[in-house]
Structure 1
Amino acid sequence: MVSTDSLAIWLEGEPVARVERNSQGRLSFTYLDSIFDRFNPGAPVVSLSLPLVRKSYPNALTKYFLDNLLPEEPARSTLAARFRLDPSDTFGLLSELGKECAGALVIQHLDDQSPLVGADPSLATPVDDKTVASHLQALPQSPLGVGNGVRISLAGAQNKLLLTRLEDGRWALPTGGVPSTHILKPPITDQRFPFSVDNKYFCMRLASNTGLAVAEVERLEFDDIPVLAIKRFDRRGEDGRLIRIHQEDACQAIGIPVTHKYQANGGPSLKQIARILSEYGTHDDLISLLELVTFNVAIGNCDAHGKNFTLVHLPEGIRLAPGYDLMSTLCYAQHDKQMGMFIDGIQTVDRVRPERIIKEATGWGIRQHNAEETVYTLLERLPESVAATINDLGTPNEALIRTIDSQIGLLT
Structure 2
Amino acid sequence: MGWDCPGAVQFTPEGRAEELHQRAAELTPLTEHDIADRLRILQDQPASWTTPGEHWSLGGQQEKFALTWLEDQWHEAGGSAATTHIIKPGIKVLHHQALVEHVTMRAAAATGVSVADSRLLPFEDQWAIVIDRFDRVTVFDKVFRLHQEDFCQALGRLPERKYESVGGPGLRDMADLVRKQLTDPEDGLRALADFLAVNLVAGAPDGHAKNISLILAPDGNRSIAPLYDLASGLTYDPEAVERTVALSIGGERIFSRIRGKQWRKAAGILKLDTDLLTQRVATMAEAFPGAFETALAEIADAPGTPEVAERTLPALRQHCSEVLARLDE
**TM-score strictly above 0.5:** yes
Write the deviation string for residues 133-181 of structure 1: whole angstroms up to 9, x where unpaired: 111122354757422321211100110011111122x111111311111
Aligned to 1:211: 112
Is the aligned partner of 1:410 residue 2:322? yes
1:302–1:327: structure 2 CA closer, same or farther, 3 Å change rule?
same
- More relative contact order in 1 or in 2 (CA 8 Å, sep 6+)? 2
Is the aligned partner of 1:322 residue 2:229? no
8 Å Cα contact 1:162/1:181 also seen in 2: yes
Is the aligned partner of 1:307 residue 2:210? yes
8 Å Cα contact 1:300/1:403 also seen in 2: no
Aligned to 2:168: 267
Is the aligned partner of 1:379 residue 2:291? no
8 Å Cα contact 2:136/2:143 also seen in 1: yes
Q: Which has the larger radius of gyration?
A: 1
Match 1:255 to one of 124, 149, 156: 156
1:188–1:387: structure 2 CA closer, same or farther, 3 Å change rule?
closer
* Greater Cα shift, 265-274 or 376-385: 376-385
1:115–1:307: structure 2 CA closer, same or farther, 3 Å change rule?
farther
Q: Secondary structure at the match of 1:148?
A: coil
1:155-174 map, 5 Å? 155-168=59-72, 170-174=73-77
1:344-363 map, 5 Å? 344-363=250-269
8 Å Cα contact 1:331/1:400 also seen in 2: yes
1:45-64 map, 5 Å? none
Is the aligned partner of 1:128 residue 2:31? yes
Q: What code does the residue aligned with 1:138 have?
A: I
Give the Cα separation in 1 of the matches to 2:251 and 2:76.
45
Quote the offset at 1:184 in angstroms. Answer: 0.7
Quote the offset at 1:391 in angstroms. Answer: 4.1
8 Å Cα contact 2:285/2:321 also seen in 1: no
Q: What code does the residue aligned with 1:286 have?
A: L
Aligned to 1:6: none
* Greater Cα shift, 128-137 or 369-378: 369-378
8 Å Cα contact 2:67/2:84 also seen in 1: yes
Is the aligned partner of 1:337 residue 2:243? yes
1:303–1:198: structure 2 CA closer, same or farther, 3 Å change rule?
same
Aligned to 1:185: 88
Aligned to 2:327: none
Give the Cα separation in 2 of the matches to 1:115 and 1:184.
28
Aligned to 1:112: 19
Is the aligned partner of 1:365 residue 2:271? yes
Q: Secondary structure at the match of 1:199?
A: helix
RMSD across aligned C-alpha pairs, in angstroms?
2.1
Give the Cα separation in 2 of the matches to 1:403 and 1:115.
55
Identity value in percent: 29
Report the TM-score, using the length of structure 1 for normalisation: 0.70
8 Å Cα contact 2:101/2:232 also seen in 1: yes
Q: What code does the residue aligned with 1:346 have?
A: E
* Structure 2: segments with no counterpart, 5+ residues: 301-305, 325-329
Write the deviation string for residues 214-268 of structure 1: whole angstroms up to 9, x where unpaired: 1110001122111000010011113431011101111111111211111111111
Structure with higher helix content: 2
Runs of 4+ in structure 1 over 6 Å off? none
Report the TM-score, using the length of structure 2 for normalisation: 0.87
8 Å Cα contact 2:98/2:128 also seen in 1: yes
Write the deviation string for residues 287-309 of structure 1: whole angstroms up to 9, x where unpaired: 12212211111111111112111
Q: What code does the residue aligned with 1:186 have?
A: P
1:330–1:367: structure 2 CA closer, same or farther, 3 Å change rule?
same
Quote the offset at 1:115 in angstroms. Answer: 6.4
Match 1:397 to one of 309, 320, 324: 309
Give the Cα separation in 2 of the matches to 1:142 and 1:410.
38
Quote the offset at 1:360 in angstroms. Answer: 0.7
8 Å Cα contact 1:203/1:327 also seen in 2: yes
1:366–1:145: structure 2 CA closer, same or farther, 3 Å change rule?
same
Q: What code does the residue aligned with 1:202 have?
A: V
Match 1:284 to one of 187, 190, 196: 187
Give the Cα separation in 2 of the matches to 1:360 and 1:326.
21
Give the Cα separation in 2 of the matches to 1:154 and 1:390.
28
Give the Cα separation in 1 of the matches to 2:105 and 2:246.
18
1:181–1:358: structure 2 CA closer, same or farther, 3 Å change rule?
farther
Match 2:50 to one of 146, 169, 193: 146
Q: What code does the residue aligned with 2:323 have?
A: L
Quote the offset at 1:384 in angstroms. Answer: 4.2
